[in-house]
Structure formats: C-alpha cells, structure tokens
Amino acid sequence: MKQIVLVFVGGGIGSILRYAFANLLNNYENGVPYGTLLANILGSLLIGIILGLGLKSEILSQNTMLFLATGFCGGFTTFSTFAYENHLFLRAGDLMSFAFYTLASFVIGFSMVFLGMWLAKFF
C-alpha cells in the first residue's frame, strides 16, 4: 500500500507541474506546444538520472525510485498529450509543426535519457 501512495503522490505532483508548464508555454493557435515538449524533455532527463543512480548504486531506495521515476516522471511527462497534439497538427494540415514536434520529442527525449544515465555516473 505504501508504494501505491508514493506513486500516487509523485504522479500528482508531476501532473500539476506539467499542467503549469502547459498553461505557461503552450499556444495551440500558434505552433508547437513548447510546454508539453519541455516537460517531456526534462522528464526524460530526470528519469535517466534517477534510473541511472538506481542502477549504479543504492543511493536511491526502491521507494524513492517509485516516487520519482514512476510517480513524478510518469505524471510530469505525457505521451497521450503528445499524440493528441500531433493529431491536431495533422488535422490542420500543419505538416511542418508535426514533423518538428515529433522529431524533436523523440530525438531530444531519447538523448536526454542517455545524458541522464551518463550524468548519474558522476554522482
């Protein structure tokens, strides 16, 4: 039960922060939703660091990793919103925004996970 509560609380905090990013940075009428993109990129970096630390040593307990990686990062990042926003681009015929957003999300997101795992070596 403790693990469920940790994931629940972490996910709630991550979701609130993602909502704030979206409110501050997303503009659906004018191009790429930078709030979602930034949340997904930062979340990818964070999960790389968190899981990198978890694999490297016992700096983070299993409960801390559940709270941070599964909970916080799971709530902070969002594939479903990313997919919906791409649907909007395609529906509007905005292929340039679709291509930029999709490529940037995947390439930068994957790169951030690898960067995070690499950075974890130095902690």
DSSP H helical segments within the chain, as ranges? 2-25, 34-56, 62-65, 74-76, 79-92, 95-120
Which residues of the chain fall below pLDDT 70?
A: none
Cβ atoms of 61 and 72 closer than 8 Å: no
* C-alpha pair distances (Å), 113 with each of 10, 17, 51, 95: 19, 20, 9, 27
**pLDDT in the model for residue 41:** 97
**pLDDT in the model for residue 45:** 98
pTM, full prediction: 0.92
**pLDDT in the model for residue 100:** 96
